[in-house]
Amino acid sequence: MKIATWNINSVRLRMPLIEKYTQSHAPDILCLQETKVIDELFPYDALHALGYEHIHIHGMKSYNGVAILSKMPFRSTEVHHRVGKEDCRHISINLDDSICKNGMDIHCLYIPAGGDEPDRTVNEKFGHKLDFLDEMNRWFQDTYTPDRNVVAVGDFNIAPLEQDVWSHKQLLKVVSHTPVEVEKLTAMQDSIGWVDAMRHFVPEDEKCYTWWSYRNRDWTKSNRGRRLDHIWVTEPLRDRLKSLDILTEARSWEKPSDHVPVMVDLDL
């Protein structure tokens, strides 16, 4: 089973890129963030034509929005609201035993970016991000035991490791790599013993990026990237991890997202 995640930065604008990616890489399940469209205007027909008959979404106009596109049927779907907001950042689906022994839950997350100033006393957005992480930590502990088959993917908006950013020292005070964010994301990862699937394949001492700012005129030359997009699996799925693909070249496609798609293959 190939599971991919991609902050698409407007699903309707990037439909040609989604078509290109799904035709070349054929993910069975594709999770999208920042779809930026209300549910009524979501491009169902175009995605059905690509083979994704089963779609679970929660979107809003011009902002946020998450989607799970699947070639396999869902047993159930859920929309989750976090920290008192209904801002379209977390949905999940359940696959039944016929697809995965003992079933599987897949969560698509878009963790708040957190604004520019890493201080919740002057930046409400940063406080929102920290509260979101705390709530997710508690929620995963309350909802699952470590022996369940669970996958969490999405734009987590945090690059936790030193080699997840182009300069650890220069970014320590920049939102997405500050110690408090890393601490809270690590606590969330520890909640049910999540396995960082990307770092399962890429050693922690090697650079690994999934995002490059639009502000970089020549992103390939400067290569000032960050690993903001993640795929986590619970322990029972660790030995099922077969391969990883980070499609870096997608950052150079015409009218690209600033994120690139990331995919793992699970041998079920």
Cβ atoms of 18 and 140 closer than 8 Å: no
Angle 37-259-74 (CA atoms, 0-180°, nearest 5)? 55
In this structure, the strands spanning 150-155 and 229-233 are antiparallel
Q: What is the pLDDT of residue 96?
A: 87
56: β partners: 68
Rounded to a whole number of angstroms, the distance between the first and last alpha carbons of the chain is 7
Read off the amino acid at residue 142.
Answer: D
Q: Per-residue pLDDT tens for 40-94?
A: 999 999 999 999 999 999 999 999 999 999 999 999 999 999 999 999 999 999 9
Please name the helix (run of DSSP H) or strand (run of DSSP E) that holds residue 186, with its range, or none: helix 179-190
Angle 154-170-191 (CA atoms, 0-180°, nearest 5)? 35
Confidence category of residue 99, pLDDT binned at 50, 70, 90:
confident
Cβ atoms of 110 and 33 closer than 8 Å: yes
Burial class (CB in 10 A: 0-12, 13-18, 19+), 186: middle
Percent of the chain with pLDDT strictly greater than 90:
97
Sorted by where each starts, the structural domains of the chain and their CATH numbers stand as: 2-266 (3.60.10.10)
How is 112-157 classified by DSSP, letter by letter?
A: ----S-S-TTT-HHHHHHHHHHHHHHHHHHHH--TTS-EEEEEE--
Q: What is the pLDDT of residue 178?
A: 98
Contacts of 204 (CB under 8 A, 6+ apart): 161, 163
Does pLDDT of 216 surpass 90? Answer: no
Percent of the chain with pLDDT strictly greater than 70:
100
SS3 83: coil
Contacts of 58 (CB under 8 A, 6+ apart): 39, 65, 66, 67, 79, 88, 91
Confidence category of residue 141, pLDDT binned at 50, 70, 90:
very high
Q: What is the pLDDT of residue 217?
A: 81
Q: Per-residue pLDDT tens for 145-169?
A: 999 999 999 999 999 999 999 999 9
Note the pTM of the prediction, 2 decimals: 0.98
57: β partners: 67
Q: What is the pLDDT of residue 98?
A: 87
Helix, strand, coil % in the chain, rounded to nearest 5: 30, 25, 45
Cβ atoms of 92 and 78 closer than 8 Å: yes
Nearest to 230 by CA among 2, 1, 7: 7
Burial class (CB in 10 A: 0-12, 13-18, 19+), 227: buried
Structure tokens at 59: 């979107």
Q: Per-residue pLDDT tens for 166-191?
A: 999 999 999 999 999 999 999 999 99
Cα 59 to Cα 35, 116, 143, 209, distances in angstroms:
7, 24, 24, 27
3: left (phi over 0), alpha (psi -120 to 50) or beta: beta
